[in-house]
Structure 1
Amino acid sequence: MIAMAILTRPKLLIADEPTTALDVSVQAQILELLAELKQELNMGMLFITHNLNIVKRLADRVAVMHDGNIVETGECQSLFAAPQHPYTKQLLDAIPSGDPVALPQPTQTLLEVKDLSVKFPIRKGILRRTVGYNAIVNQLNFTLRHGESLGLVGESGSGKSTTGLALLRLLPSQGEIWFEGTPLHQLNLKQLQPYRSQIQVVFQDPYSALNPRLNVQQIIAEGLQVHQKLSAQEREQRVISAMTEVGLDPETRHRYPTEFSGGQRQRIAIARALILEPRLLILDEPTSSLDRSVQAQILALLKKLQQRYQLTYLFISHDLQVVRSLCHQVMVMRNGKVIEHGDCAEVFARPAQDYTRQLLAFADTP
């Protein structure tokens, strides 16, 4: 995409959120490339982003927009050091901070994973015969307790999302998955059905995760129709309760996803998962496509729900600041393998691996 944009050697390059879906190491490479091209081609660059770390690293001047208006503009360093407008201060204060929710006592094991591996066949020849396997996840081991959060971090392609899909039994895998003492890896689809409601997932993109043909009530109630025998009135009351829980107006339940903002859509996705009263939530990059202020709201919501219901989170992310604020444990993956795993505060303060130190340096965590 960058090659296409610079082919005619433009005087101005407009970069609209070019690094939003990228992990921190790839993001750093793209930023370095853009800085080099800007200098080499002597071009101006208008960089549109909600990531304040990128602004601090890349920009000479900053313009802050709110409701279609520029509310503050100035030199980058001075604006970050002494913001004048309340909205700018709100954005800077929205950088993820704070500590994870305190673990309930006593704690019991909810999920135990032993030697989890996911391999995809390599097929060649006219008959597409399997000649080998590509290991996406290799010998993963971890334990999650009730009310605990585990952050799964690493580069794109490191196997984070594949791990989540394997735990949901949506991908074939090897190894053992124990959920409250039940061996999920030994169950067939029919036997697995009662456990589906106990393990729910919230996806990265709030725009593609919701069916645009269904209204909000139908989207949130869909799981109830599969897992519980309730009347239409009972389902509607559960939807109203779930929407209130995540900070949505129940009066909007007959609207469609296109009528909501990205943050509101993510709240709808969380309500859809929560309505089944799960014990484990797999959160796959749930805040990466949101701006900092909305991200802070979703993060605060997740903490509140975890504290209230003792939810357990597997939080997949490349945003290390969010992981530090939410998670008790952190697991660093690279090329399908865990290279570092431990208490989140300890790993962030004293990383043992060079790769972890590199990720932290790229993320510019406080």
Structure 2
Amino acid sequence: MNREQEIEDFLKAIESGFSGLNPKTFWPLNAGQIDSYFDVDEALDMYYRLVKLKEKFNIKEISDLMPPPDVIRIFLQHNAIVGLKESKELGIDDVSIKGRVDYILFLFDILKQKVRNYIFCGDGKNLILSQEEVEEILQKSGWNKPVDEKEKKKVAFLNAMGNNLAYTLFYDTFVTGGFYIHGAYDARDIFGEGAVLVVRDYHDLNPTEIWPDLEMPFSEMKIFVVYKDLYFKLDFMNHPITIDTVSDKLIAYKVFIDDKEIKIDSVDEVIGVLSRLASNQSKKINSLSDLDKVRKAAEISYYLFRNLGKYIGDDWEPPKMIEETIDKFGEKFIEEFRYKEIPDMRHWRRLFDPRDDYN
């Protein structure tokens, strides 16, 4: 495909994703309030890390060091492009337009290594598993078939509680650092016409490197759900889109905690753990000052790429200069990005276009 077209498709995905967002509702702060304190530092850090790695490794090897695809997508929606533009505007580093474009296309190429469909989810799918992997999952026996509406709602509530905990661990802004959804995969060969498999992957629910007092009894939860005749799409931002009541369409499911399958009679206990920890986390974060929320956000953002930092031999934690920026500007950006009006789509499109210096 033409590389210019890829950029256009990326911008369409941004427009589509941002069209349903209200930055006034982001918890505990919106992306502008958070990212402004470290967008330049993180953008330049990642840019030069990847430029250096390209000299020694091929795309597959670099991809293996990178986080899941929906974490990379978060980076593209936040600091990858905007931070490089800001660095130029501030006179800190002048990465050229060509340099920005080449860099973003390289991030697209990394995404292509990690997903099985078009990376911008224009088809409404986020396919991470191969067809062989999907078939292996579907063909295994022991699928739970909900016996009534109560059981269906319990599975839906488990999803909701997992989501809530991930939000309190990674904020709205970086939530795919804790969980993401992939699919929908064709399941009709096993479950009949109109059946699809959706996977909710809570891949990091015990990030003790950023929350050392968490006391979480497990690290991962995967929920495999099969729906019948469900209208279901995922966008580039991993937002699920449906016009149906999802639980009504559930026909089969499996739940795994740290790769061990659990049955429905254990779900209440898991829900209790998730609910309790989400409540504790919410109280903890709400008790922080706004600038301490920013400090924690910087820690979360850098944590998402910890494996890359560890491989290179660096400490993955945010550099000291971010603390200096917070001390220097105080609550300036907190107030500046307290949106009174929601920006229009042209703003978002230009902001994330690597060919445009608009910032």
TM-score, normalisation: structure 2: 0.25
Higher fraction of strand: 1
TM-score, normalisation: structure 1: 0.24
> Which one scores higher on RCO, CA 8 angstroms, separation ≥ 6?
2
Look at both structures and tell me which one has the larger radius of gyration over its CA atoms: 1
